[in-house]
């Protein structure tokens, strides 16, 4: 291989000397190929099984004006991309029921945040009440439950969830003391839904 290269150079130089031309030889080289794999991330939000730390699926019966229901939610990031925004929404089975449609006498929703952890207490009706081990604050509400239908963006402190991380908060539903006979004997079913959006894009 080396010999043939040198011979070729000699012949080229001789040919150029015949015609009185000056010739230059340029060497070139190429590195080995570099393979790069790029994959897209997945935004996936998950809820724990129904229980003390995931009680949003537990209903309530025979509520009366002045009653308050607390349900903890534990939202986890089971995807491969960080979550930067979480929206809570609700769908009602009967939007004409006054406990849903009335902005003053219907159910009111608040989202409670805790700087520590939530301690559940099991109630006789199968529901739970929660005590915050740190500082409790209201992240949203109280607002009519119908307002939540269009989606409520959780504050950054609750919606910034890294891969493998989770966010816990309490959804509080209150039945106003102003409710009257028009709200009696009503039955309503709610479907709560969570929508997650990836965190802000950046250099990777």
Q: In which band, very low, low, confident or very high, does the pLDDT at 37 lie, cut at 50, 70 and 90?
A: low
Residue 22's pLDDT band (boundaries 50, 70, 90)? low
Cα(60)–Cα(129) distance, integer angstroms: 13
pLDDT of residue 27: 65
CA distance 91 to 151: 10
Could you report the per-residue pLDDT of 108-131, keeping only the tens digit for each? 999 999 999 999 999 998 889 999
Does residue 143 fall inside a structural domain? yes
Instruction: Please indicate, yes or no, if residue 37 is contained in any of the structural domains.
Output: no
Give the CA distances from residue 69 to residues 13, 106, 113, 128, 204, in Å, rounded to whole numbers and listed in that order: 95, 14, 15, 8, 44
4 vs 78, residue with greater confidence? 78
- Whether 74 is covered by a domain: the verdict is yes
- For the chain, how many structural domains are there in total? 1
Q: Over the range 46-60, which residues count as b (16 or more CB within 10 Å of their CB) and which as e?
A: ebbeeebbbbbebee
Q: Is the pLDDT of residue 18 over 50?
A: no
**In-domain check, residue 52:** yes
Tell me, yes or no, whether 126 lies in a domain.
yes
Cβ(188)–Cβ(93) below 8 Å: yes
pLDDT band at 79 (very low <50, low <70, confident <90, very high): confident
pLDDT at 32: 64
CATH number of the domain bearing residue 163? 2.60.40
Residue 102, domain member (yes or no): yes
* Residue 183's pLDDT band (cuts 50, 70, 90): confident
The DSSP bridge pattern shows strands 118-122 and 166-174 to be unpaired
Stronger pLDDT, 4 or 56, i.e. the higher one = 56
Tell me, what's the pLDDT at 49?
A: 66
Question: Domain of 173?
Answer: 45-179+189-198
Least confident of 53-57, 61-65, 86-90: 53-57
Average model confidence (pLDDT) across the chain:
81
């Amino acid at each position: 291989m080396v010999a043939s290269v040198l011979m070729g150079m000699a012949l080229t130089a001789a040919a150029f000397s015949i015609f009185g031309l000056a010739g230059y030889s340029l060497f070139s080289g190429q590195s080995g190929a570099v393979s790069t794999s790029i994959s897209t991330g997945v935004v996936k939000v998950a809820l724990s099984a129904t229980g003390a730390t995931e009680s949003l699926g537990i209903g309530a019966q025979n509520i009366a004006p002045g009653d308050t229901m607390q349900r903890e939610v534990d939202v986890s990031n089971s995807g491969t991309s960080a979550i930067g925004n979480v929206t809570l929404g609700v769908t009602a089975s009967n939007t004409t029921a006054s406990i849903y449609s009335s902005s003053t006498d219907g159910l009111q929703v608040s989202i409670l945040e805790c700087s520590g952890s939530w301690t559940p207490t099991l109630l006789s009706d199968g529901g739970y009440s929660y005590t915050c081990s740190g500082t409790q604050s209201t992240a949203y509400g109280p607002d009519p439950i119908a307002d939540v239908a269009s989606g409520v963006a959780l504050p950054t402190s609750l919606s910034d969830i890294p891969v493998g991380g989770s966010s816990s908060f309490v959804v509080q539903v209150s039945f106003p003391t102003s409710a009257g006979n028009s709200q009696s004997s009503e039955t309503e079913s709610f479907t709560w839904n969570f929508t997650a959006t990836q965190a802000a894009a950046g250099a990777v």
